[in-house]
């Protein structure tokens, strides 16, 4: 069994801006676990534990999905608290695309493969403890309208997550190029 999700690891040029924001967040009055540079991604659908023989089947399905969509540009938007400002478990960046293609891609993945799909975002850190919630929310609001770059979403990936002592290690099991 492998813990897997469908998503997209971020291109290196986008990671630089995100790492700078993570470095700033480390100075905030909170305790959190940052997502490692090599693991920065956007998640389209969390599949959970899947059997090794399902990998081939899921790979075939995302190949078919990839043939239905042309690559498109997405923008990395502002910071937000998940699930909300009253109970902050995660700090994340929005992934924005205005033509509706990203939502259509999510819908197609959910229809064809299933899994747990959430609105597009990039997790920066998992929050363990907040010393001053008001201060944190003020900082989040300052960062909410900032942008962190754009990139061409030209593929979707089946990604395996293996837990190690240092944290999760992600590896791309299968990649499907978009048209």
Number of Cβ atoms within 10 Å of the Cβ of 94: 19
Smallest CA-to-CA distance from 18 within 170, 145, 124, 139 is with: 124
pLDDT in the model for residue 171:
96
Query: Distance between CA atoms of 96 and 121, rounded to whole angstroms?
Result: 9
Where does residue 152 fall: left (phi above 0), alpha (psi -120 to 50 degrees), or beta otherwise?
A: beta
Is 86 a known active-site residue? Answer: no
Buried b (16+ CB within 10 A) or exposed e, 136-154: bbebbeebeeeebbebebb
Query: Distance between CA atoms of 78 and 114, rounded to whole angstroms?
Result: 28
Per-residue pLDDT of the chain (179 residues; tens, 9 = 90+): 899 999 999 999 999 999 999 999 999 999 999 999 999 999 999 999 999 899 999 999 999 999 999 999 999 999 999 999 999 999 999 999 989 999 999 999 999 999 998 889 999 999 999 999 999 999 999 999 999 999 999 999 999 999 988 889 999 999 999 99
3-state secondary structure of 175: strand
With beta carbons less than 8 A apart as the criterion, state whether 113 and 62 touch.
yes
Query: Distance between CA atoms of 122 and 119, rounded to whole angstroms?
Result: 10
Report CA 94 to chain centroid distance, whole Å. Answer: 9
pLDDT in the model for residue 167:
85
Smallest CA-to-CA distance from 34 within 21, 46, 17 is with: 21
Is 121 a known active-site residue? Answer: yes
pLDDT in the model for residue 52:
87
pLDDT in the model for residue 129:
97
Number of residues that make up the chain: 179
> Which residues fall within 8 angstroms of residue 32, CB to CB, at 6 or more apart?
25, 91, 125, 126, 127, 128
Q: Which domains does the chain have, with CATH numbers?
A: 2-177 (3.90.1140.10)
């Amino acid at each position: 069994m492998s813990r897997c999700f469908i998503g997209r690891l971020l291109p290196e040029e986008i990671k630089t801006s995100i790492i700078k924001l993570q470095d700033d967040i480390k100075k905030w009055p909170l305790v959190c676990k940052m997502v490692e540079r090599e693991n920065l991604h956007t998640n389209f659908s969390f599949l959970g534990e899947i059997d090794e023989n399902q990998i081939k089947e899921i790979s075939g399905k995302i190949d078919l999905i990839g043939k239905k969509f042309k690559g498109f540009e997405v923008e990395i938007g502002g910071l937000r608290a998940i699930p909300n400002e009253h109970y902050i478990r995660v700090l994340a960046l929005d992934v924005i695309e205005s033509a509706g293609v990203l939502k259509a891609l999510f819908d197609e993945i959910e229809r064809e493969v299933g899994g747990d799909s959430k609105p597009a975002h990039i997790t920066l850190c998992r929050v363990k403890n907040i010393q001053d919630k008001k201060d944190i929310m003020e900082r989040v609001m300052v960062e909410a309208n900032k942008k962190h770059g754009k990139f061409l979403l030209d593929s979707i990936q089946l990604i395996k997550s293996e837990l190690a002592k240092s944290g999760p290690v992600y590896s791309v099991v299968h990649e499907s190029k978009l048209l």
